[in-house]
């Protein structure tokens, strides 16, 4: 009865202007003045939400009526747009809009909506001590026009929720700023179309999602849209682009879309408009070049996964506060994990880099653009005791299921920390912990006997696959055993694929239920490369989508790519009626895929099997990842190399600073090295060198050369040219195959308090001298051949005066050499850098140097910086 007011009920007719929301609130408060205070307050809140919806979405004259019957308050808000039904919203705590109807559902004793000829009325009732309200009493209206089904494949639903919330918030702010169109550049008539299209898309998408069970990180949806909606969607896209521009200028009280949200929004709108025009669908996983359109970004962010990871991970929100940190990251920086939660991220950033961080983070939020997302940046982190810890920092944005955008930072330490106490170990090698709990798909509580039997079979399947993979250290053999387990209990035949470091697909095993079936060798081994044109389930799974149900396997003649042809050829050979293809994802990376096939039409795979396969794939991927970790632990040469790098001496007349950075793209071990020590006579030895190679052999050769040079320098105080000459002869005898470059220098104090450098170079890049005033030149004298080329040739010694407070930089070629850039240009670029930072503290000088030059290096980098200081008077 609450929806139909009595004839004498007070009412107000209000135009669709924002200021009339306040008018409606005051009107309802005056009518209900005699009711209980909590009823009046709640009614005022709810009518404000409903009137706001009428102003923004209906945009017609609204009528607000309120009355009291037997102590019960009744409120009704009517508009003249019955064709625009209520838009359902999932309740995300971080949503910017869509809270109005949720509040009515939560607080009203009873509520509902009636649509009739030319009118739509939303009503609610309130009275003290009433029973709990119904969960929902809304009546939704289907969008007008003939519907067309649009196929949206591999939708990462957490990213969709974040994108929807961002654009709805932007449209709300545009509407409130509509009276100042000159600030935003959006025409009122375009904003009306955009708002209607947004409501239509949100309603249609929500209806489609509710038809699915989100049992994986992606959904493939069939969504009904009106056939004539394409033009409106184009307008919506243009309006949102203009909203981003206005937000960047500070003309809206909202932030522009981040890169991954903007990329997803473009894909979604393009899919709707193209398919409404007769085009074919393109899966999100097949979008090339889009920010965050990678398999690692398809899975929603999960705090438990970050906390359980073995690599150091820290997650922060858009207020720059730490919301998750694992023990590996906390231990690396000297903290307990729970002490870091809630702190600003700047607590872990050295003071001289904090302003750079604040500016970069603010720029990302205010412009939606970033220079560091997705890149590996070498920076020092701040230990709790105040010292600096060199790390490589890789930051990705990740969407949480509640709609937040989370900034996830992975720290690669210069020296990997030891396995924490209590870490799982198998066969003498460390295993990575489970990335979050594995949720078994069935529970036996309150179940019938048949359900219990099925649950026991599923638990047995998990146990058997785990034992199969753990029964051998050979990864391929372990996967073969897993596939045999799956063919006994779940599929007629099964195949496992892995991705190598170059992204190539390798089919490592195929197992059939019938042991008499022989699998031809041509079906194993390397597959044709993945391409942007691959639209088949296997390619999508290898990009992170799924598990994917293939209910209709096409014939071989319909193959769309070489990879698809290989897959369908095997299907034709072994038979197949239905299949499920699941990605193997570990540590937020896709490392392979699992294909399970059933041959018999009477027992096909269905959607009910997807959850079980998803959890199986997750557990199997963990085991595969552990096996890969075991394989990589055999090459721990970086630890050896790090241990051999020296501790810099403390000398009263000179400041020293050094940095070493392994390659970010090749092997993490090489021959770059530096050294510094004080001779008995008081001279300081300075050395930089590079042994040819990027492997364990190079690291061993580097160690041998460094130790020989130390012994020769201490044994007989001679000019640098003579010391390098003796080193060359010793190297020819002890390690005749080794070659390398080196600069050996002596820093001597002059009688007048100044310093001079005596040096000799064996084919190495010249040191760079920069005065405090910014003048620069390279020390090109004293050059000779590489070590190991000709031990009989004499080596010269050169002398250079070093002005007080000047900076002398020794460096290896990985610092400046880049493909496509001449050496001369690179050396000039370095000169400009040292001029800019000549007056900065030496540690700041080195940190900024590594940040500037080390991010995109494909080679190892070693630098040694020297700054003479005059005696104190």
* CATH number, domain with residue 801: 3.60.40.10
What is the reported pLDDT for 1? 45
* CATH number, domain with residue 386: 3.30.450.20
The reported pTM is 0.65
Residues 162 and 223 in one domain: yes
Q: What is the mean pLDDT of residues 375-397?
A: 86
Q: Distance (Å, rounded) from C-alpha 762 to C-alpha 785?
A: 5
Across 296-326, b (16+ Cβ under 10 Å) vs e yields bbbbbbbeebbbbbbbbbbbbbbebebbbbb
- Domain that includes residue 745, residue range: 637-868
The predicted-structure confidence for 270-297, as pLDDT tens digits, reads as follows 999 999 999 988 888 877 655 444 444 5
Percent share of the chain, pLDDT over 70 = 81
Residues 306 and 267 in one domain: no
Judged against a pLDDT cut of 50, whether residue 441 lies above it is answered with no
* Residue 138 lies inside a defined structural domain of this protein: no
Q: What is the largest CA-CA distance in the chain?
A: 114
Residues 330 and 225 in one domain: no
Q: What is the mean pLDDT of residues 560-572?
A: 83
305-314, 319-328, 548-557: the lowest-pLDDT one: 305-314
Q: What is the mean pLDDT of residues 93-111?
A: 71
* CATH number, domain with residue 94: 3.30.565.10
127-131, 527-531, 766-770: the lowest-pLDDT one: 127-131
What is the reported pLDDT for 446? 42
* Residue 225 lies inside a defined structural domain of this protein: yes
Instruction: Answer with the one of 295, 320, 342 that is the final residue of a domain.
Output: 295
* Residue 132 lies inside a defined structural domain of this protein: no
Q: Distance (Å, rounded) from C-alpha 210 to C-alpha 8?
A: 42
Residues 687 and 816 in one domain: yes
Report residue 449's pLDDT band, with 50, 70 and 90 as the boundaries.
very low
Residues 174 and 310 in one domain: no
Residues 749 and 647 in one domain: yes
What is the reported pLDDT for 100? 65
Judged against a pLDDT cut of 80, whether residue 804 lies above it is answered with yes
Residues 769 and 852 in one domain: yes
The predicted-structure confidence for 818-871, as pLDDT tens digits, reads as follows 888 899 999 999 999 999 999 999 999 999 898 888 876 777 889 999 999 876
Tokens of 390: 């060199």
Residues 709 and 829 in one domain: yes
What is the reported pLDDT for 145? 60
What is the reported pLDDT for 437? 34
What is the reported pLDDT for 655? 92
What is the reported pLDDT for 656? 93
What is the reported pLDDT for 422? 34
3-state helix, strand, coil in the chain (%, to 5): 40, 25, 40
* CATH number, domain with residue 519: 3.30.450.40
Question: Of 843, 489, 382, 430, whose CA–CA distance to 658 is shortest?
Answer: 843
Q: What is the mean pLDDT of the chain?
A: 80
Question: Of 83, 64, 49, whose CA–CA distance to 15 is shortest?
Answer: 64
| DSSP output for 503-546 | S-EEEEEEEESSTT----GGGSEEPPPP-TT--SHHHHHHTT--
* Residue 370 lies inside a defined structural domain of this protein: yes
216-230, 287-301, 426-440, 707-721: the lowest-pLDDT one: 426-440
Judged against a pLDDT cut of 90, whether residue 109 lies above it is answered with no
Residues 331 and 288 in one domain: no
Residues 331 and 275 in one domain: no
Q: What is the mean pLDDT of residues 588-616?
A: 86
Q: What is the mean pLDDT of residues 48-76?
A: 87
What is the reported pLDDT for 533? 61
- Based on the structure, what is the number of domains in the chain? 5
* Residue 437 lies inside a defined structural domain of this protein: no
* Residue 409 lies inside a defined structural domain of this protein: yes
Residues 703 and 812 in one domain: yes
The predicted-structure confidence for 609-636, as pLDDT tens digits, reads as follows 888 888 888 888 888 887 776 666 544 5
Query: Which is higher by pLDDT, 331 or 694?
Result: 331
Own/partner pairs, 846-849, CB within 8 angstroms, 24+ separation: 846/657, 846/658, 846/659, 847/350, 847/352, 847/353, 847/379, 847/380, 847/388, 847/659, 849/659, 849/809, 849/815
* Residue 260 lies inside a defined structural domain of this protein: yes
471, 625 Cβ separation under 8 angstroms: no
Residues 404 and 487 in one domain: no
Tokens of 563: 């990879």
* Residue 435 lies inside a defined structural domain of this protein: no
Instruction: Answer with the one of 585, 600, 632 that is the final residue of a domain.
Output: 632
Instruction: Answer with the one of 231, 265, 295 that is the final residue of a domain.
Output: 295
Query: Which is higher by pLDDT, 540 or 292?
Result: 540
The dihedral region occupied by 244, where left means phi > 0, alpha psi between -120 and 50, and beta the remainder, is alpha
Judged against a pLDDT cut of 90, whether residue 234 lies above it is answered with yes
The predicted-structure confidence for 478-522, as pLDDT tens digits, reads as follows 888 888 889 888 889 999 998 887 778 888 889 898 888 888 888
Q: What residues have CB less than 8 Å from 92, skipping those under 6 apart?
A: 161, 165, 402, 403
């Amino acid at each position: 009865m609450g929806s139909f007011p009595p004839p004498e009920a007070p009412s107000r007719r209000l135009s669709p202007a924002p200021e009339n929301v306040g008018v409606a609130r005051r009107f309802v408060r005056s009518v209900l003045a005699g009711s209980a205070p909590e009823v009046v307050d709640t009614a005022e809140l709810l009518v404000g939400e409903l009137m706001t919806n009428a102003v923004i979405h209906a945009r017609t004259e609204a009528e607000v009526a309120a009355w009291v019957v037997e102590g019960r308050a009744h409120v009704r808000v009517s508009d003249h747009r019955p064709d625009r039904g209520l838009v359902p919203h999932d309740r995300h705590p971080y949503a910017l809009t869509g809270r109005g109807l949720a509040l009515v559902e939560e607080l009203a004793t009873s509520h509902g909506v009636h649509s009739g000829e030319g009118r739509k009325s939303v009503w609610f009732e309130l009275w003290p001590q009433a029973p709990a309200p119904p969960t929902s009493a809304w009546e939704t209206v289907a969008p007008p026009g003939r519907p067309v089904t649009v196929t949206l494949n591999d939708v990462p639903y957490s990213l969709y929720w974040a994108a929807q919330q961002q654009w709805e918030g932007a449209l709300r702010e545009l509407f409130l700023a509509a009276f100042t169109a000159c600030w935003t550049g959006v025409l009122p008539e375009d904003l009306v179309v955009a708002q209607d299209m947004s409501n239509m898309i949100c309603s249609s998408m929500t209806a489609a999602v509710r038809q699915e069970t989100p049992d994986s990180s992606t959904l493939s949806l069939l969504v009904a849209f009106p056939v004539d909606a394409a033009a409106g969607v184009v307008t919506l896209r243009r309006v949102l682009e203009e909203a981003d521009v206005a937000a960047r200028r500070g003309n809206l009280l909202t932030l522009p879309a981040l890169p991954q949200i903007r990329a997803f929004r473009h894909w979604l709108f393009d899919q709707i408009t193209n398919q409404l025009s007769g085009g074919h669908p393109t899966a999100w996983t097949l979008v090339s070049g889009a920010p965050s359109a990678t398999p690692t970004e398809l899975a929603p962010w999960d705090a438990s996964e970050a906390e359980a990871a073995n690599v150091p991970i820290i997650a922060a929100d858009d207020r720059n506060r730490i919301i998750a940190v694992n023990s590996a990251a906390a231990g690396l920086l000297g903290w307990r994990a729970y002490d870091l939660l809630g702190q600003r991220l700047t607590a872990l950033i050295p003071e001289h880099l904090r302003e750079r961080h604040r500016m970069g983070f603010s720029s990302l939020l205010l412009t939606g653009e970033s220079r560091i997302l997705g890149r590996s940046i070498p920076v020092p982190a701040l230990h709790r005791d105040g010292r600096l810890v060199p790390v490589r920092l890789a930051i990705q944005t990740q969407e949480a299921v509640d709609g937040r955008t989370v900034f996830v930072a992975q720290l690669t330490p210069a020296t990997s920390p030891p396995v924490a106490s209590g870490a799982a170990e198998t066969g003498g090698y460390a295993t990575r912990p489970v990335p979050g709990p594995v949720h078994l798909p069935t529970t036996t509580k309150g179940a019938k006997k048949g359900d219990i039997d099925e649950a026991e079979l599923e638990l047995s399947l998990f146990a058997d696959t785990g034992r199969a993979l753990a029964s051998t250290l050979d990864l391929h053999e372990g996967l073969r055993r897993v596939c045999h387990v799956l063919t006994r209990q779940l599929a007629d035949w099964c195949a496992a694929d892995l991705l190598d470091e170059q992204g190539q697909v390798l089919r490592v095993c195929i197992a059939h239920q019938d042991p008499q079936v022989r699998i031809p060798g041509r079906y194993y081994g390397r597959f044709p490369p993945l391409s942007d044109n691959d639209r088949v389930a296997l390619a999508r799974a290898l990009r992170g989508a799924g598990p994917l149900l293939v209910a209709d396997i096409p014939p071989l003649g319909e193959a769309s790519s070489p990879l698809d042809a290989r897959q369908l050829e095997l299907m034709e050979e072994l038979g197949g009626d239905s299949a499920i293809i699941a990605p193997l994802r570990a540590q937020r990376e896709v490392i392979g895929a699992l294909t399970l096939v059933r041959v018999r039409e009477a027992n096909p795979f269905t959607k009910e099997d997807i959850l079980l396969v998803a959890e199986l794939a997750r557990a199997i991927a963990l085991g595969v990842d552990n096996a890969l970790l075991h394989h990589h632990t055999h090459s721990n040469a970086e630890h050896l190399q790090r241990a051999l790098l020296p501790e810099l001496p403390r000398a009263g007349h000179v400041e020293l600073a050094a940095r070493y950075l392994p390659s970010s793209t090749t092997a993490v071990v090489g021959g770059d090295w530096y050294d510094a020590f004080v001779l008995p006579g008081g001279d300081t030895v300075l050395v930089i060198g590079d042994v040819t190679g990027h492997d364990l052999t190079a690291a061993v050769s580097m160690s041998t050369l460094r130790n020989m040079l130390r012994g020769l320098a201490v044994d007989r105080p001679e000019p640098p040219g003579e010391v390098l000459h003796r080193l060359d002869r010793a190297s020819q005898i002890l390690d005749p195959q080794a070659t390398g470059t080196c600069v050996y220098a002596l820093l001597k104090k002059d009688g007048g308090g100044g310093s001079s450098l005596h040096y000799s170079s064996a084919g190495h890049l010249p040191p760079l001298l920069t005065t405090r005033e910014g003048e620069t030149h390279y020390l090109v004298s004293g050059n000779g051949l590489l070590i190991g080329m000709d031990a009989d040739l004499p080596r010269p010694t050169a002398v250079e005066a070093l002005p007080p407070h000047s900076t002398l930089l020794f460096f290896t070629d990985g610092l400046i050499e880049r493909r496509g850039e001449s050496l001369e240009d690179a050396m000039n670029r370095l000169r400009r850098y040292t001029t800019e930072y000549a007056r900065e503290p030496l540690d700041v000088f080195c940190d900024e140097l590594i940040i500037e030059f080390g991010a995109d290096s494909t080679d190892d980098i070693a630098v040694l910086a020297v700054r003479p200081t005059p005696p104190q008077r």
